[in-house]
Structure 1
Amino acid sequence: MTELSLQLSKTQSHLLGTPALAILLTLIAYFVAVAIFRKLRQPVWCPPVLLAGLLLAAALSLCSISYPQYQAGAAWLTFLLAPATVALGVPLHQQIHHIRALWKPILVTVPLAATMAVIYALGIAWALGASGEVLASLAPKSVTAPIAIGINQQIGGSVSLMMGGLLVTGVVASLFVDWLVSWLGISDDRLIGLTLGINGHAIGTVRAFEISAQAGAFSSLGMGLTGIFTALVLPFALALLDIL
């Protein structure tokens, strides 16, 4: 038994030196999460990405794999987030005529919504006595991961805390947008999609595509514009105000 444990330990150490184990664990966690999500009849409050994250965390704990070890192996997955985000330009192109018709409301809404998302996150965290690192980690919580990581590096936050904030924000935003849409009787997919993209980034965009292609396109637009605006303004604003 001891010899078997030693052999397994050596195998795990070897695999940790390559991306193989991190990739395998990530894929298994995601596909199992999708199966559970479908079994639960696709609840908005429990998307596959949340389930996959919980399953992956449990697997890393059981295998005694630290987050830095996993992160090193899964680095290429993080790299692929950027081209995946760029690929959302395809549905945007398909809906360009609808976007042109609403460019003025969009131009007004996105900067205001992105600014408010940062203000209330920093305000609540500051009122609860959060440190500068926590504030920096939560500031880009409404921005899609590839852009948020870049912002986080500029303002000095924690990547792991920031990713947790992104996950919670996406899930809660999708849940509340669904609830508000039902409560207010809103049926315009363009408005629903834009709201999901601005507030729920990638997770909200996944939810928007479940509604319709039009909602998904407008969610992609909201997510992209929010990320660009926040990336350009947030580091400069925080430095100017000397908040962190």
Structure 2
Amino acid sequence: MSGSTQAALQAVIEHPLFLIGVTLAAYQTGLALYERSRLAIFHPIIVSVPIILVVLWALGFDYPTYYEAVLPLTILLGPTTVALAVPLYLNLRRIRQFLKPVVVTLVLGGLFATLSTFLIGWLMGAEPMILMTMAPKSLTTPIAMLVAEEIGGVVALAAVFVMITAVLGALLGPWLLRLFHITHPAAWGIAMGIVAHAVGTSRAMEEGEEAGAFAALGMSMMGLGSAVLLPLGVTLWTLWF
């Protein structure tokens, strides 16, 4: 490789938008595979993460550098999450019809998702810091990172647990729901929203507008409730024990 070519390549790699372009290209690759195959294993997140990791490793980028470069995309997570209120508004009448079972599902599902994490981690000998990092795994990334910081977890690692939960939810959630013959759009959506947050909501929207609306409701209520109750619960636990 000539010196001028190498210099041009280095200039491209060092450009502030290079890693954003890599991220978008990796996601688009996953999206194309998923749309062609419709297989959960080719979900854009599952495909794009290994691609990005290989690129970062090959080019010698560390995580702080990558995180700083793609910060504009991270900032957009908030408005993107808020935009999920649109299907909620369009299906508001339908949501009112199932208000009581939705509330019961949110309370029981939210408690189980959080308390089971503490229990499993404690039984496996996890340190308190790891428990606090794993606790908000079922929340969407912006909320999970804030909650993890508030209760003494590791913010960056919390985002990893959120991603793992989203991937597993997208892979196993639809299969488990069909295994137990759960086909109602409201039940389908609320389950995916509580367990797999934004990715689950995206997957639920593929099943229909109603399922997507209930998934968005489950995700948002799970995030709101956990953002308030999880730090409060951890504080009370610390004071008492």
Q: TM-score, normalised by structure 1?
A: 0.91
Structure 2 stretches lacking a partner, 5+ long:
none
Letter in structure 1 aligned against 2:169: A
User: Would the aligned equivalents of 1:195 and 1:222 in 2 still touch at CA under 8 Å?
Assistant: yes
Q: Per-residue deviation at 1:2?
A: 8.2
What is the rounded CA distance, in whole Å, between the counterparts of 2:146 and 2:49 in structure 1? 22
Check if 1:239 corresponds to 2:235: yes
What is the rounded CA distance, in whole Å, between the counterparts of 1:186 and 1:113 in structure 2? 16
- Counterpart in the other structure of 2:20: 23
User: Would the aligned equivalents of 2:45 and 2:167 in 1 still touch at CA under 8 Å?
Assistant: no
User: What is the Cα-based RMSD across aligned positions, in Å?
Assistant: 2.1
SS at match of 1:242: helix
What is the rounded CA distance, in whole Å, between the counterparts of 2:173 and 2:116 in structure 1? 17
SS at match of 2:66: helix
What is the rounded CA distance, in whole Å, between the counterparts of 1:37 and 1:186 in structure 2? 24
What do the CA deviations read for 1:27-78 (whole angstroms, capped 9, x no partner)? Answer: 1111111122234x12124411121111111111111110100100111111
User: Would the aligned equivalents of 2:133 and 2:148 in 1 still touch at CA under 8 Å?
Assistant: yes
Structure 1 stretches lacking a partner, 5+ long:
none
What is the rounded CA distance, in whole Å, between the counterparts of 2:189 and 2:145 in structure 1? 24
Q: Per-residue deviation at 1:88?
A: 0.8
Q: Per-residue deviation at 1:92?
A: 0.5
User: Would the aligned equivalents of 2:132 and 2:151 in 1 still touch at CA under 8 Å?
Assistant: yes
What do the CA deviations read for 1:100-146 (whole angstroms, capped 9, x no partner)? Answer: 11111112221221121111112112222222222121100000111
Q: Sequence identity, in percent? A: 32
Check if 1:131 corresponds to 2:127: yes
Q: Per-residue deviation at 1:160?
A: 2.8
SS at match of 2:93: helix
Q: TM-score, normalised by structure 2?
A: 0.92
Q: Number of residues paired by the alignment?
A: 240
The 5 Å alignment of 1:64-103 reads: 64-103=60-99
Letter in structure 1 aligned against 2:85: G
RCO (CA 8 Å, sep 6+): is it higher in 1 or 2? 1
- Counterpart in the other structure of 1:172: 168
User: In the superposition, relative to structure 1, how do residues 169 and 14 fare at CA in structure 2: closer, same or farther (>3 Å)?
Assistant: closer
Q: Per-residue deviation at 1:12?
A: 5.9
Comparing 227-236 with 129-138, greater Cα deviation is found at: 129-138
Large movers: runs of 4+ above 3 Å: 1-6
The 5 Å alignment of 1:110-129 reads: 110-129=106-125
User: Would the aligned equivalents of 1:173 and 1:200 in 2 still touch at CA under 8 Å?
Assistant: yes
SS at match of 1:140: helix
